A and B are shown apart, each in its own frame.
Chain A
C-alpha cells in the first residue's frame, strides 16, 4: 500500500496570503495524484487531478505541482471560504487507492 504523508497537519493563515500543502508518497505515483477540498458536512470536492490539472470550475488560485513522490498544492490569495480540510489521493493502481490524512486550513 502506498502511504501518503501530508504536511502540515494544520495551517493558519490570513486572507490574501498563500498556502502551501505538501503530500509525500512512500513510492512513486508518477503524476497519478489528486487534491480535494472538504468543508464540514459536505462531500469532498475535486480540485486537482493528474498532479497539476485543474478540475472544472476551480479558480486558478488553486494549483498543483510535483511528480514521483513529492507533490504540492498551492492556494494563492487566500479567501475566507478556502477554510477547509485538504486531502491528497494517489490512484496509480485501480486496485489500491489511498488518501493522505488531510491538512486543515484555517483562515484567520
Chain B
C-alpha cells in the first residue's frame, strides 16, 4: 500500500526557513515523479513543485521560484521541500503526492504557518 507522510511543518517568522520532508513507502520512490501541492486555509489547491525520478528535472511555480527548492533522496525514500525567505502568503497545508500529472496518492499534509 502506498503511504506518504509529510513532516517538518510549524510556525516560522516571515523571512525564515523550513525544510519539509515526505517519507514514502509501499512503492519504489526512484521510479516515480513526485510533487508538492499546497492549500492555504479555506482556499483552493496550488501546485508548488515537482521533480522527476532521478532529480535531474525540477519545476517550481513562479511564486516560489528562487525561494523554494524541491529535492529527493531515493536511497532514503524521501522527498524534500526547502523553503527559504518565507512569506505570510506561504501559510498553507503542504501535501506531497506521487506523480506529476494526475495525483492518485497524497499524504495527509503538514501545516506551515508564517507569522510574526
Answer whether A49 and B50 are a contact pair too, CB < 8 Å, given A43-B108, A43-B109. no
Answer whether A44 and B104 are a contact pair too, CB < 8 Å, given A94-B50, A94-B59, A97-B50. no
> Quick check: is A99 within 8 A (CB to CB) of the other chain?
yes
| Docked CA distance A91–B50 (Å) | 12
> Quick check: is A50 within 8 A (CB to CB) of the other chain?
yes
Interface residues of B, count at CB 8 A:
22
B33 neighbours in A (Cβ, 8 Å): 94
Q: Encode B40-74 as 1/0 by CB contact (under 8 A) with A.
A: 00001111001000000101011000000000000
Q: Encode B65-100 as 1/0 by CB contact (under 8 A) with A.
A: 000000000000000000000000000000100001
Contact present for A44 and B44 (CB under 8 Å): no
Answer whether A99 and B46 are a contact pair too, CB < 8 Å, given A43-B95, A94-B59. yes
Chain A residues numbered 1-51 whose CB sits less than 8 Å from any CB in chain B: 1, 32, 34, 36, 38, 43-46, 49-50
For A34, A97, A100, A102, the residue with the greatest tally of chain B CB atoms inside 10 Å of its CB is A97
Answer whether A46 and B45 are a contact pair too, CB < 8 Å, given A94-B33, A95-B59. no
Contact present for A46 and B103 (CB under 8 Å): yes
| Docked CA distance A1–B59 (Å) | 14
A52 neighbours in B (Cβ, 8 Å): none
A32 neighbours in B (Cβ, 8 Å): 101
| Docked CA distance A89–B100 (Å) | 11
* Chain A nearest Cβ from B97, distance in angstroms: 8
A96 neighbours in B (Cβ, 8 Å): 59, 61
B95 neighbours in A (Cβ, 8 Å): 43-44
Contact present for A91 and B104 (CB under 8 Å): no
Partner among A55, A91, A95, A99 whose Cβ is within 8 Å of the Cβ of B45 = A99
| Docked CA distance A90–B37 (Å) | 13
Contact present for A49 and B45 (CB under 8 Å): no
Contact present for A89 and B107 (CB under 8 Å): no
Residue of A whose beta carbon sits closest to that of B107: A43
| Docked CA distance A95–B46 (Å) | 13
Q: Lowest 4 A-B CB distances belong to which pairs?
A: A49-B102, A91-B101, A43-B106, A34-B102
